[in-house]
Amino acid sequence: MSDADVAVVDAVDAYLHRKAVGDPDGPGAGTYASNAESILRRWADWLEAEHGIRSLFALEVAHMRAYADELRARADRGEYTASTAGTYYAVVRAFLSWCVHGGILESNPAATDEAEGALPSAEDRPDSEYWTADQRCRLETYVRENAVDAATGTASRDERRNRLREYAMVALLAHSGVRGAELFSVPDDERRTGATWEDVDFYTGTIRVLGKSQRLEDVPLPAPARTPLRRYRVALDPPSNDWPLFPTRHAPSIARRVREVLAERGHDEARIESLLEDHTASELARERAIAPPAITTEGARSVLKRLCREADVDVDGDYLTPRGVRGDGDERDGYRREATDAKPALRASVLEQAIAVPEDRPVVIDVDSSGPDERSEDD
């Protein structure tokens, strides 16, 4: 790269700094910068990894078309909603417009019909992603009855925990405004690592998530979602509050996390291997309070596929996804509020964990939905 070149990452740094200190273009610039930073840095990393582009001057319309195609593919896989994909693209387009206004670029390669035409739209989503009220009710009834049977029958502790996990997962998606990508881990998005028990506040009845706006938001947990979640927590008995709500069951992923954390704590390789010879990675994670990764959105999709088959929920040959379980996201988003530092972290009391809470009756939801998902059931 010659001295006349401008590196993409350097231009991004200058743009974010400008916005952070207050850009005269408009109010709220500092907040915008904090929200845009992760989007622009992931875009810059993607440009270099996929196209070898490091210089801003090498950026062409074809690269932005490829980026739009990437966002569309992620939306098709359920990682992003169409609106989220559009927001990500808009942030990059705004950055490139700033480069044009500043005399760095002659034109904006993102502001063309050729590039923007590849972006997903709300109409692109297949009808099969929308759950009917009957489908939601049947699936929830199935997982609820499974959980009750496991609790009152001769099921093992692991089986009871598994059934409560499935019930809590479906209930959260069905009765709260939480999206799949806010509950579960999204690959390649370092900020979306999955909700933890520290994010849940049973006292106020809320869960804190990273919303579509890239801001932390407090989402209400109504009783039909809160009760199954509380019961599941008692059965899961997480050793620490940074434990994911829905930990992965992918053994290699757990083992990798255990090795990484033990190494960070000063254990040499021989000692780590010795510990893993005497215990499974899952046992070590619990014993040493090493939080495993959360299940990914694809892993959650796999769980829902299996549950749909078992519950005999007819989806016309295509399985429902986490996006469709809940009610209309636009309606429920109105009840969200931006999180503040005043919100207390979850500290579930011994009494709360010991009390058996009566079952809620299943609730039929009368509206359809929107929100993301994503790897295998063993994830």
pLDDT band at residue 358 using 50, 70 and 90 as cut-offs: very low
Average pLDDT over residues 247-258: 93
Q: Taking 90 as the threshold, does the pLDDT of residue 64 lie above it?
A: yes
% pLDDT > 90, the chain: 43
pLDDT of 362 over the 80 cut:
no
**Model pLDDT, residue 328:** 45
What pLDDT is attached to residue 301? 86
Whole-model pTM above 0.75?
Answer: no
Q: Specify the amino acid at residue 167.
A: Y
Which one of 14-28, 141-155, 325-339 scores highest in mean pLDDT? Answer: 141-155
Residues 6 or more apart in contact with residue 309 via CB below 8 angstroms: none
pLDDT at 22: 54
Question: Using CB atoms within 10 A of its CB, is residue 205 exposed (0-12), middle (13-18) or buried (19+)?
Answer: middle
279-303: average pLDDT: 92
Instruction: Report which secondary-structure segment, H or E, holds 200.
Output: strand 200-201
What does the alpha-carbon distance between residue 202 and residue 223 come to, in Å, rounded to a whole number? 10
- What pLDDT does 326 receive? 55
For 165-204, give one letter per residue: b (16+ CB within 10 A) or e: bbbbbbbbbbbbbbbbbbbbbbeebeebebbbbbbbbbee
> Residue 77 — very low, low, confident or very high, per pLDDT cuts 50/70/90?
confident
The yes-or-no verdict on residue 333 having pLDDT over 80 is no
Check residues 120 and 372 and name the one with the higher pLDDT: 120
Average pLDDT, stretch 274-292?
93
Range scoring the smallest mean pLDDT among 157-161, 280-284, 331-335 = 331-335
State percent of the chain over pLDDT 70.
Answer: 75
Mean pLDDT score across all residues of the chain = 79
Q: What is the pLDDT of residues 184-205, one digit of tens each?
A: 998 878 888 999 999 999 988 8
Q: What pLDDT is attached to residue 137?
A: 87
The amino acid at residue 255 is A
Burial class of 350 by CB neighbour count within 10 A (0 to 12, 13 to 18, 19+): exposed
- Residues 137-168: tens digit of each pLDDT: 889 999 999 999 888 878 899 999 999 999 99
Q: What pLDDT shows up at residue 324?
A: 58
Token couple for 73: 């593919």
Backbone φ, ψ for residue 59 (5° rounding): -75, 130
One DSSP character per residue, 8-36 reads: HHHHHHHHHHHHHH--TT-S-HHHHHHHH
At residue 374, does pLDDT exceed 50? no
Q: For residue 32, what pLDDT is reported? A: 59
Q: Compute the distance between CA of residue 346 and CA of residue 53 in angstroms, rounded to an integer.
A: 44
261 vs 364, residue with greater confidence: 261
- Top pLDDT among 1 and 246 is at 246
Most confidently modeled range among 77-86, 95-104, 329-338:
95-104
Average pLDDT over residues 324-345: 50
Which residue would you say has higher pLDDT here, 94 or 32? Answer: 94
379 compared with 291, residue with greater pLDDT: 291
pLDDT exceeds 50 at position 322? yes
